[in-house]
Amino acid sequence: MDIFIQQLINGLVLGSIYALVALGYTMVYGILELINFAHGEVTMIGAMVALAVIGAIAGSALDLPGLLVVLAGVLVAIPACMLLGFTIEKVAYRPLRRAPRLAPLITAIGVSIVLQNSAMLIWGRQYVSFPPLIPQNSHEILGAHITDLQIFIILLSTLIMAGLWLLVQQSTLGRAMRATAQSKEVAALMGVNVDRVISATFLIGSALAAIAGVMVSAYYGLAHYYMGFMLGLKAFSAAVLGGIGNIAGAMLGGLLLGVIEALGAGYIGDLTGGFLGSHYQDVFAFFVLILVLVFRPSGLLGERVASRA
Amino acid sequence: MLDLLRRPRTRSQARAALILLAVLLALLPFLTEAALGRSWVRVLDFALLYVILALGLNIVVGYAGLLDLGYVAFYALGAYLYAWLASPHFGLHLPFWAVLPLGAALAGVFGVLLGAPTLRLRGDYLAIVTLGFGEIIRIFMNNLNAPVNITNGPQGINLIDPVHVAGLSFGKTQQVLGLTLSSAHFYYYLFLAFTLATIFIAYRLQDSRIGRAWVAIREDEVAAAAMGIDTRNVKLLAFAMGALFGGLAGGLFAAFQGFISPESFNLWESILILCMIVLGGMGHIPGVILGALLLTVLPEALRYLGDWQRLVLGEVLVEPTDLRMLLFGAALVLMMIYRPEGLIPSRQRKREFHAEDGVLEQEQASLYDTRT
């Protein structure tokens, strides 16, 4: 039983990170109907930039408290990722807005290759480790352990998601985003500056990705130029699971996928009599993705039925 | 000469051009070895292998308009089947002409298995699902070494039998008719035969009833269905045919290389093959061949970049192999923005991409998918 609760906690932590990244996919898809393949790499860049700043401060003579150093890293990573997301949209996607559907998808793959390899050239092929700045206090709940960092990740991502929900539902920008998602042409007729809304979407999504990137690297204690690929795919699966284009769906899908993955990895050995082990963890996201797309392409919360043209 | 082949003025001119091309292809490995060294003959072999792969993927992506990002999974299946049936791993040593068709068939079956549930999905969803499938296959190849050792895990399978024909082993250098032929030379002619067969099949498919049905589905699925095309089965057939060539190339690769591991079949390999098609001209056979040749030869030529850096700067600042993928990525983006129809597009596609008036522009928007 305590294994179950432990895996549930691990799953929720991982799931809230997936949810943050999934929001970026779902917002862009909702508006542009484009799978922003490069979003995972934006997350990776966020982690790498933050780690570079953290490493520089921790290595210098300044003797700041650990949490402040991490905060400084996050505060640099967010604008860096926002600038990156903004530029990607402007350079790679905007010229192709009226092109056939596969064209921007192929560009997105190209951008993601460019980002990944640039990161490899800048930061090298080896893993970058997260300096031990965050205290690792552990609490016991129902026989399972939860660290301060895990609690913090869950709380912060809940807060951010609540804030985003308010932004989308209450603010003028949010209303403009929803209108653009329904129909770009009509929204433009109503005086919405569609280009600006799309840019804003990329800015918000990239900021969330930066935070998620720092969370992942702090949680695992590592960052790597290749980390964005798997993370991005899983977050995309989460967005599809929840219903792509749907913001609440991305949050739900992220949490669910995290839990499925953690429980699956915890129990797959027992279920298959030891034939398959926990290193098959990465397979779950894809199975979930394929199952959802086959049986319920609109996702759990998706109202718009994905067209089957 | 290519122009002569395409638009020969007389019959005898066409025949002359064809004979010239045949002689050139037959002498190519010797000319290459003399000019650039033996390692470039291996590059030639790989170029031919990639032509087969690219033409196979072109059936799926270029003709039927289904973006498949997991194509390498079929390549992997063909290669692993060859390794299982012709290596000391399981102690089996079946001849290559028995194993190759089996590998192609296995890949084809998996193509149907993957296609059946997913082909009703919209284009970009399909891309992600196929990508996931490719990763699943790779993860299984990586981990199926315990408790029963099937794939030998990340170490891969070694000592795979080379191809034997008429008592000749392609694995070592031998004297044939007074000529010294290395393993790379033998495989060049073997691959050339398979490549020419693939090109022939690709042309025949393109002009066949099925090929026209594929293009019809790519252009407008609803209209195609209204014309009486069974879109589901025809799409499945495209998937299976594409997979077949992938499996075939996989078997050839395993025999040629003598060693395979999951690392040879990662996502970037799928994307590399996709790049070849996009760069050359989707759906147009000469374009796809050019793309495959360019993208195999150029990265090899990039290796010289390291030497130039050492000459000019005194040290190697950027490893050329690291630069390779970066340039591919940039090329994908630039091609899509400035020349989406590819280097040698088919005439029809060129018109579609450069249509000026509104009607054609609308058609272009529904090139792959109808939006609702």
Spell out which residues of chain A touch residue B365, defining contact as CB-CB under 8 Å: 98, 100
Has residue B4 been placed in a domain? no
- The pLDDT tens digits of the residues spanning A210-226 come to 999 999 999 988 888 88
What mean pLDDT do residues B60-74 have? 89
A280 or B224, higher pLDDT: B224
B123 or B22, higher pLDDT: B22
CA distance B228 to B197: 31
Q: Measuring CA to CA, which residue among B341, B299, B336 is closest to residue B321?
A: B299
- The pLDDT tens digits of the residues spanning A85-127 come to 999 999 989 888 877 777 888 889 889 989 999 999 898 888 8
Q: Is the pLDDT of residue B5 over 60?
A: no
pLDDT of residue B275: 85
Has residue B5 been placed in a domain? no
Poorest-confidence range of A20-24, A153-157, A260-264, B119-123?
B119-123
Name the token pair of B61.
Answer: 């992506």
Q: How many domains does one find in chain B?
A: 1
Q: Is the pLDDT of residue B346 over 90?
A: no
Residue A71: burial class (beta carbons within 10 Å; 0-12, 13-18, 19+): middle
CA distance B214 to B217: 5
Has residue B7 been placed in a domain? no
Q: How confident is the model at residue A287 (pLDDT cuts 50, 70, 90)?
A: confident
CA distance B156 to B142: 8
pLDDT of residue B128: 80
What mean pLDDT do residues A274-300 have? 77
What is the percentage of chain B residues whose pLDDT exceeds 70? Answer: 86
Q: Is the pLDDT of residue A204 over 70?
A: yes
What mean pLDDT do residues B190-198 have? 93
A100 CA: distance to closest CA in chain B (Å): 5
Nearest to A121 among B120, B267, B322 (CB): B322
Contact A306 B132 (CB under 8 A): no
pLDDT of residue B183: 80
CA distance A145 to B54: 51
- Decide: B65 and B127 in contact? Cβ < 8 Å: no
Q: Is the pLDDT of residue B362 over 90?
A: no
3-state secondary structure chain B: CHHHHHCCCCHHHHHHHHHHHHHHHHHHHHHHHHHHCCHHHHHHHHHHHHHHHHHHHHHHHHHCCCCCCCCHHHHHHHHHHHHHHEECCCCEECCHHHHHHHHHHHHHHHHHHHHHHHCCCCHHHHHHHHHHHHHHHHHHHHHCCCCCCCCCHHHCECCCCCCEECCEECCCCEEECCEEECHHHHHHHHHHHHHHHHHHHHHHHHHCHHHHHHHHHHHCHHHHHHCCCCHHHHHHHHHHHHHHHHHHHHHHHHHHHCCECHHHHCHHHHHHHHHHHHHHCCCCHHHHHHHHHHHHHHHHHHHHHHHHHHHHHCCCCCCHHHHHHHHHHHHHHHHHHHCCCCCCCCHHHHHHHCCCCHHHHHHHHCCCCCCC
Please name the residue of chain B whose CA is at the shortest distance from the CA of residue A29: B124
pLDDT of residue B357: 47
Poorest-confidence range of A69-73, B57-61, B358-362?
B358-362
A280 CA: distance to closest CA in chain B (Å): 7
Q: Is the pLDDT of residue B331 over 60?
A: yes
pLDDT of residue A42: 95
Domain limits for position B303: 13-365
Q: Is the pLDDT of residue B371 over 50?
A: no
Has residue B154 been placed in a domain? yes
Q: Is the pLDDT of residue A53 over 50?
A: yes
- The pLDDT tens digits of the residues spanning A18-47 come to 999 999 999 998 888 888 889 999 999 999
Q: Is the pLDDT of residue A254 over 90?
A: yes
Nearest to A114 among B124, B274, B330 (CB): B330
Q: How confident is the model at residue A1 (pLDDT cuts 50, 70, 90)?
A: low
Has residue B370 been placed in a domain? no
pLDDT of residue A209: 95
pLDDT of residue A90: 92
Q: How confident is the model at residue B97 (pLDDT cuts 50, 70, 90)?
A: confident
Residue A176 at interface with chain B, using a CB cutoff of 8 Å: no
Q: What is the CATH number of the domain that holds B332?
A: 1.10.3470
Q: How confident is the model at residue B372 (pLDDT cuts 50, 70, 90)?
A: very low
Q: Is the pLDDT of residue B95 over 60?
A: yes
B121 CA: distance to closest CA in chain A (Å): 6
B119 or B286, higher pLDDT: B286
How many residue pairs from chains A and B have C-beta atoms closer than 8 A? 149
What lies within 8 Å, CB to CB, of A122 at 6+ separation is A48
Q: Which of residues 30-59 of B touch A (CB under 8 A)?
A: none
Amino acid B99 reads V
Residue B300 at interface with chain A, using a CB cutoff of 8 Å: no
Contact B123 A101 (CB under 8 A): yes
DSSP strands (E only) in A156-225:
222-223
Q: Is the pLDDT of residue B361 over 70?
A: no
Contact B326 A229 (CB under 8 A): no
Q: Is the pLDDT of residue A306 over 90?
A: no
Which pTM value belongs to this model?
Answer: 0.82
Residue-level length of chain A: 309
Poorest-confidence range of B151-155, B251-255, B320-324?
B320-324
Contact A118 B332 (CB under 8 A): no
pLDDT of residue B351: 66
Nearest to B330 among A110, A233, A274 (CB): A110
What mean pLDDT do residues B26-34 have? 82
- The pLDDT tens digits of the residues spanning B227-284 come to 998 988 999 999 999 999 999 999 999 999 888 988 888 888 888 898 888 888 888 8
What mean pLDDT do residues B219-233 have? 88
Please name the residue of chain A whose CA is at the shortest distance from the CA of residue B324: A117
CA angle (A157, A161, A166) in 5-degree steps? 150
Please name the residue of chain A whose CA is at the shortest distance from the CA of residue B223: A309
pLDDT of residue B181: 73
Average pLDDT, chain A: 86
CA distance A74 to A53: 9
pLDDT of residue B6: 59
Contact A107 B332 (CB under 8 A): yes
Has residue B8 been placed in a domain? no
Give chain B's radius of gyration (CA, Å): 21
pLDDT of residue A14: 92
Task: Give the CA distances from residue B325 to residues A2, A169, B132, in Å, rounded to whole numbers and listed in that order.
Answer: 46, 42, 21
CA distance A271 to A281: 14
Residue A22 at interface with chain B, using a CB cutoff of 8 Å: no
Spell out which residues of chain A touch residue B331, defining contact as CB-CB under 8 Å: 110
Residue A114 at interface with chain B, using a CB cutoff of 8 Å: yes
Domains of chain A: 2-127+143-295 (1.10.3470)
pLDDT of residue B280: 85
What is the percentage of chain B residues whose pLDDT exceeds 90? Answer: 26
Has residue B119 been placed in a domain? yes
Give chain A's radius of gyration (CA, Å): 19
What mean pLDDT do residues B336-343 have? 82
pLDDT of residue B117: 79
Average pLDDT, chain B: 82
B254 or B184, higher pLDDT: B254
pLDDT of residue B344: 79
Residue B325 at interface with chain A, using a CB cutoff of 8 Å: yes
Number of H helices, E strands in chain A: 11, 4
Contact A117 B129 (CB under 8 A): no
DSSP strands (E only) in chain A:
128-129, 138-141, 144-147, 222-223
Contact B125 A275 (CB under 8 A): no
A18 or B143, higher pLDDT: A18
pLDDT of residue A307: 40
